[in-house]
Amino acid sequence: MRWRAALLLAGSLWTTVPGLAEAGEAAPRLVLTPCRLPGVPDMARCGTYEVFENRETRAGRKIALRVAVLPALGPERLPDPILFFDGGPGEPSVSDAAWHEETLKPLRRRRDIVLIDARGTGGSGALDCAETAAAKLQGYLDDFLPLDQVRACRELLQRRADLTQYTTERMVDDKAEVAAALGYDALNLMGTSYGTRAVLVFLRRHPGKARTATIVGVLPTDARVPLPAARNAQRAFEALVAACEREAACASGFPDLRGDLAEVLRQVEEKAVEVAATDPDTEREVALTLTREGVAQTVRYLLYGDFGLARLPWVLHSAARGDFRPMGEMALLFGATATGGSRGLYLSVTCAEDVAFIRPEDIPAAAAGTFLGDFRVRRQIDACKEWPAARLDPAFRQHVVSDVPVLALAGEHDVTTPPEDAARVVRHLSRGRLVVVPHRSHGVLGGEGTACVVDVIDQFLAAGSAERLDTACIERIPPVPFLTARSR
């Protein structure tokens, strides 16, 4: 394999790299060394690669990007790896190696999996603001992006970073450069959630480097996050209600989920609810205050994947009857997850690529009649007024046109990237195909049916085409079973 050859010729190989060739420079081949990654039983290969923070001026601060390769496991190793793009924006790749090992291991039979922490995440100069977020979880539940924390975060990070240099375009250019430095000529791109936007932008900026692209939970370049959040969440909730009505035990135990949600929101609007919850990491009791905003956000996150979908009817029904502890447990669990990652990177990307294109007159219609309302979008607009984001050409929002084979996968009831978003994207991909996974939300990978979905991806990679895939197993993926009082 190319990484093994690079190791044997350490320091003696040079290659032309995108972004460097224009400047008439050569870049050293990136040589990786053996390493152990948590949750990965076999030896990985790790290293760092420096890029300029400002890729245009090629001067000033540099960022050391953290790189890891999970080498192919089988005897028939192919030269075209999988280059992965994580979600968020703000989630690192390398620290999630255990997830790749568990979920995508069948894909490693023939191909390396390349993990690169994008600039501003994980081990690549993470734009974290933990020092400024004294009550991060409660602040998230009350306000999503408390402005005092946003300002403190900005002041902290500006001491060491130009926050306008953290965009999807910069991140994909970094990754193209690293892949070239590793000696890979053709890449199989793969992304989930926000990572799908990164894959699409990669196709636009580096069309000759992609052999295939797999996008799971597709975020278009014109999505304007979080404007669609309230409407998408409402549709996902209505799908949950319909699924509960079709299952006898759920319909019997929770006969009026819409009424339960309305009652819970009424109670917390009238008076915020104090609740104790057990932190699953420390097993300590944590005191939380549940406001309307906190409850609405918790319900939305419960709609993301199988774990939350299975529990949401019981959580709502319990709270409607006055028992808010299950809701508090879920608020603690999902709130801690949502406040992870690199919050500064999240703001730099979304403020430049999404919020900048939201028109105030579009908000009322987007939020009307939804349980989330306009809370989330207005909070994010306010936060972005405090953030020094890049100014992008409106052309960024244009659909990506490509003839690279693309497999798009979407959960039928995805709470944040619904199938219609994927369909709009695929219309501009001449060799693209959309496969809708029934009964699932955003968590297409990781829940029931994951092995089937990964098998279809494996077929796609083997063929280099999405035309003749056997998707019969996807059509047989069952609904999420709901937890009831008897099954908890």
Please determine, for residue 18, whether its predicted confidence score (pLDDT) is greater than 70.
no
What are the structural domain ranges in the chain?
Answer: 2-126+168-222+398-475, 128-165+224-392
Phi, then psi, of 141 in degrees rounded to 5: -65, -35
Q: What pLDDT, on a 0 to 100 scale, did the predictor assign at position 274?
A: 96
pLDDT for 341-364, tens place per residue?
799 999 999 999 999 999 999 999
Q: Tell which CATH classification among 3.30.1330.20, 3.40.50.880, 3.40.50.1820, 3.40.50.150 matches the domain 2-126+168-222+398-475.
A: 3.40.50.1820
Band the pLDDT of 269: cuts 50, 70, 90: very high
* Cβ partners under 8 Å of residue 49, min gap 6: 30, 64, 65, 67, 177, 178, 181
Overall average pLDDT of the 154-178 stretch: 97
Band the pLDDT of 141: cuts 50, 70, 90: confident
Dihedral sign of CA atoms 219, 223, 227, 230 in order:
negative
Contact yes or no for 117/124 (Cβ under 8 A): yes
Band the pLDDT of 129: cuts 50, 70, 90: confident
Q: What pLDDT, on a 0 to 100 scale, did the predictor assign at position 9?
A: 25
How high is the mean pLDDT of the chain? 91
pTM above 0.75, yes or no: yes
Phi, then psi, of 179 in degrees rounded to 5: -60, -40
Tokens of 247: 């299952």
